[in-house]
Amino acid sequence: MSETPLATAVVRWYDKNARDLPWREPGVGAWAILVSEVMLQQTPVVRVLPAWRAWLTRWPEPAVLAADTPAEAIRMWGRLGYPRRALRLHECAVALVERHGGAVPTELEQLLALPGVGSYTARAVATFAYGRRHPVVDTNVRRVVARAVAGEPDAGLATRPADLVATEALLPAEPAVAARASAAFMELGAVVCTARSPRCVDCPLVDRCAWRASGQAAPAGPTRRPQRYAGTDRQVRGRLLAVLRESTVPVAREQLDLVWADDVQRARALAGLVEDGLVQALAADRYALAGEPGNAVPQL
């Protein structure tokens, strides 16, 4: 398989227009790339940048994080959102030390076997860290392929096996070139071929895009409904975690009761945090972050 015209055009565009992101710099290791991929899940780049730098400053290698507590990972995660990702990264670091001598493996099967590493993340790390030839398919890539190849305005809500096949067909044969093409397709979807306001005049595929040639308009409404935050259990969980992150000693239930007026919703959110392994319930109706040292008191 030789280079495809679409990949060639997008890589040339990427070489001139790619955003200057620190995890793309030459020499950045696989651990740093893995951390970036986990943080970037459902979180904008602008919020990830300072968190990524702080995380790698404190834990530049998996072994350093593995030697620390889950509580510190949750605390360091701060307000980045979806804090279970912090626990997964800690579990992943422990597994990397136990199974791979503290190194991030190169093979897709080994990456997929790590806790908290799914299909997308495993392919992204193998591709961007090690230059392997794998289809790396996120929402942005699916949208580019759907429009440029299939002539559809959108790719739908979830990644399907057919999306991996369609994307892989566009990748050049040479693994290193394919890896760059994967990054280029992703970047194009993120900054040009966007869901609501695509900048077709700036797109390197404008003259060969099947969707543009069809004359179809972009969908009138969002493909997926924006998630409400205010008043949800997610907001309550965030407030409870904020109190626990700021304390290195167990927090009394009475103190947590102050963060939200609705007793039923607050209790449900707190129980969910305990069930998810982010918070531990201790004796005397006190609570602490999971793995907080010195707090493993049996519940009465």
Tell me if 196 sits within 8 A of 131, measured CB to CB.
Answer: no
Please calculate the CA angle 147-198-41 and round it to the nearest 5 degrees: 80
Q: What are φ and ψ of residue 12, in 5° steps?
A: -60, -40
Please state, in angstroms and rounded to a whole number, the distance separating the CA atoms of residues 124 and 118: 10
Q: Catalogue the E-assigned strands of the chain.
A: 251-252, 279-282, 286-289
Buried b / exposed e over 233-249, threshold 16 CB at 10 Å, is ebbbbbebbeebbeeee
Please state, in angstroms and rounded to a whole number, the distance separating the CA atoms of residues 49 and 39: 9
3-state secondary structure 69-129: CHHHHHHHHCCCCCCHHHHHHHHHHHHHHHHHCCCCCCCHHHHHCCCCCCHHHHHHHHHHH
Please state, in angstroms and rounded to a whole number, the distance separating the CA atoms of residues 142 and 140: 5
Beta bridge partner(s), residue 281: 287
Q: Is 98 a catalytic residue?
A: no
Among the listed residues 3, 25, 37, 72, the single catalytic one is 37
Contacts of residue 280, defined as CB under 8 A and 6 or more positions apart, other chains included, come to 274, 287, 288, 289, 290, 291, 292, 295, 296
Burial of 35 (0-12, 13-18, 19+ CB in 10 A): buried
Catalytic residues: 37
